[in-house]
């Protein structure tokens, strides 16, 4: 958990920009005739019309929810337009959504440090831009203020006396006696409103935003008034916001920690945490987590906007619910090959476009055992050094699965018969590439680096305008030993794992995997985790 920095961080201006029902907007841009109509984006599978993964605001008015299937949505609203997610390699293809998200990021990054948190959400540190505006053209002296800025929702601003809401916002922005923090937020209101209008002009996408003094508060605020609106959290309104906020609504408290706070400590709202001294929370949850809980109860967070426009990892996954669970090794290998092919394609694209290489390959799976008393045991995640080339990634991922399966069923607890191993099923598979870093100067040619890679990938790299076989590329640490590693296919009943395979827990520093358990919990409740959309690629609920 991040530990807060000194109170001077309250003078920062942080925005969290959240695209409104983004998957639907991407489809509506491709098919403008869908605009204004109740629309939902569904998975490609045919069972009951497919799983809804995004629902337009027009459709929500009819009671359509993301927990529904396509046929259910049609029953609720016969005129709903159902648009299929594109399909590639037998699973959902999110590349179009990723690319659309990149368009938005490139615009937002013009005014401040920008951190891409997921396909459809971005953090911005606008402190420098706000300070510059305050010095050169302070809001309190502006004669005209953009209409979009005047539509802002400012928490704590009293609009219940019948007065004009926009005029109240104008007066708040114009205050000469405001403290420095509020003056900076006033600048943030103007900057974010301008950025949102620029996104709309250049991409046709609407977005909502939260503006506050830290990432935590900005994130909370961005979802309070949607779509196409922005919400501001002045320092004086922080306590009022958190006092009644359900504990499970706070990021990182949607999982086991939130349940423990409710069940063991009687904490139902973030404000309830105020009754516990920091020492008590540290005693119960450890020093770092205890301090973090004490801080968030007071709206304190020192987490920095990282200044990252590119993802810190790439992942590809697919779920196999119910009767579609994979129960044979060949079935698992087939789908691993599909996932690895997509992952390899994305890695090559990243290398080509951004000159970055990944160092670590990780396999995650969810599984069940039908007859074992330890049926709740988790399938262990495994990782190894990443070798470029589709065939190599496929081979290594399968080896990681074999190692994980041996551990999961027990070295001697599972009986094999040919390619079958009775009593287990795989309900989810994903592969990810992490520890991605810019290419340092090196001496190995790309031809040597991609030795053994598939012809199609290597040919595309050779034909690139920016990379060719004469370019130089340094290999990931330890890669000079790859050719000596024994990568022969391990047998399931072999009792000793290869030394190069490592147990791993998803790297909590990876933004795409950070707080995965609570994110999965939130999205499952909202029906967002469906079929093939990998949890590594999802943002918070819209």
Q: Which of 85, 132, 100 is nearest to 20 (CA)?
A: 100
Which 8-state DSSP code applies to residue 249? G
Q: Which of 287, 332, 290, 127 is nearest to 218 (CA)?
A: 127
Q: Which of 312, 259, 293 is nearest to 508 (CA)?
A: 312
Which 8-state DSSP code applies to residue 475? P
The Cβ of residue 491 has, within 10 Å, a number of other Cβ atoms equal to 10
Only one residue has tokens 């640490």, namely 477
Task: Give dist(CA 294, CA 287) in Å, integer.
Answer: 11
Task: Give dist(CA 183, CA 181) in Å, integer.
Answer: 5
Contact present, 435 and 522 (Cβ < 8 Å): no
Task: Give dist(CA 415, CA 108) in Å, integer.
Answer: 56
Cβ burial of 162 (10 Å; 0-12, 13-18, 19+) is exposed
Distance of CA 252 to the CA centre of its chain: 13
Q: Which of 87, 176, 103, 102 is nearest to 139 (CA)?
A: 176
The Cβ of residue 48 has, within 10 Å, a number of other Cβ atoms equal to 13
Q: Which of 425, 427, 423, 411 is nearest to 371 (CA)?
A: 423
- Non-local CB neighbours of 27 within 8 Å, separated by 6+ positions: 34, 39, 41, 83
Task: Give dist(CA 528, CA 519) in Å, integer.
Answer: 10
Task: Give dist(CA 221, CA 427) in Å, integer.
Answer: 35
In total, the chain counts a number of residues equal to 542
Nearest-10 crossing angle of helices 180-203, 165-174 = 120
Active-site amino acid positions: 121
């Amino acid at each position: 958990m991040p530990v807060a920095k000194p109170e001077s961080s309250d003078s920062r201006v942080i925005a969290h920009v959240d695209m409104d029902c983004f998957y639907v907007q991407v489809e509506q841009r491709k098919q403008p005739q869908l605009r204004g109509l109740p629309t939902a984006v569904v998975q490609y599978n045919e069972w009951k019309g497919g799983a809804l993964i995004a629902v337009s605001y027009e459709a929500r008015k009819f009671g359509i929810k993301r927990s529904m299937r396509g046929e259910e949505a049609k029953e609720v609203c016969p005129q709903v337009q159902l648009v299929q997610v594109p399909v590639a390699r037998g699973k959902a293809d999110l590349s179009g959504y990723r690319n659309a998200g990149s368009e938005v990021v490139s615009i937002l990054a013009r005014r401040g440090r920008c951190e891409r948190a997921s396909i459809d959400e971005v953090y911005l540190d606008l402190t420098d831009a706000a300070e510059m505006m305050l010095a050169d053209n302070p809001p309190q002296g502006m004669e005209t203020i953009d209409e979009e800025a005047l539509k802002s929702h400012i928490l704590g601003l009293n609009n219940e006396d019948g007065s004009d809401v926009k005029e109240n916002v104008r007066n708040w922005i114009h205050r000469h006696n405001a403290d420095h923090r509020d003056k900076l937020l006033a600048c943030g209101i103007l900057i974010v409103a301008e950025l949102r209008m620029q996104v709309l002009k250049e991409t046709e996408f609407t977005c909502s935003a939260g503006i506050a003094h830290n990432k935590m508060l900005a994130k909370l605020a961005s979802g309070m008034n949607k779509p196409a609106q922005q919400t501001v959290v002045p320092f004086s309104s922080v306590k009022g916001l958190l006092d009644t906020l359900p504990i499970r609504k706070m990021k990182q408290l949607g999982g086991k920690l939130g349940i423990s706070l409710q069940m063991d400590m009687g904490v139902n709202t973030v404000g309830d945490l105020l009754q516990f001294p920091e020492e008590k929370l540290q005693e119960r949850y450890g020093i770092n987590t205890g301090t973090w809980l004490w801080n968030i109860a007071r709206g304190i967070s020192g987490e920095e906007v990282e200044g990252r426009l590119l993802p810190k990892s790439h992942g590809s996954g697919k779920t196999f619910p119910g009767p579609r669970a994979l129960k044979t090794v060949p079935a698992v290998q087939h789908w691993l090959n599909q996932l690895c092919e997509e992952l390899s394609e994305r890695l090559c694209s990243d290398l080509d476009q951004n000159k970055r290489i990944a160092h670590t390959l990780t396999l995650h799976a969810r599984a069940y055992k039908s007859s074992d008393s330890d049926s709740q045991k988790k399938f262990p995640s495994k990782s190894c050094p990443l070798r470029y080339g589709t065939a190599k990634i496929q081979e290594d991922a399968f080896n990681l699965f074999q190692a994980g399966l041996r551990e999961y069923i027990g070295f001697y607890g599972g009986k094999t018969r040919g390619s079958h191993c009775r009593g287990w099923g795989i309900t989810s598979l994903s592969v990810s590439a992490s520890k991605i870093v810019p290419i340092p100067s090196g001496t190995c040619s790309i031809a040597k680096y991609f030795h053994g890679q598939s012809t199609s990938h290597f040919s595309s790299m050779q034909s690139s305008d920016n990379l060719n076989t004469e370019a130089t590329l340094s290999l990931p640490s330890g890669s000079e030993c790859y050719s000596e590693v024994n990568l022969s296919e391990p047998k399931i009943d072999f009792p000793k794992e290869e030394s190069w395979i490592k147990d791993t827990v998803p790297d909590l520093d990876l933004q795409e995997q950070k707080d995965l358990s609570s994110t999965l919990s939130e999205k499952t409740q909202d029906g967002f985790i469906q079929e093939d959309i990998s949890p590594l690629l999802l943002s918070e609920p819209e």
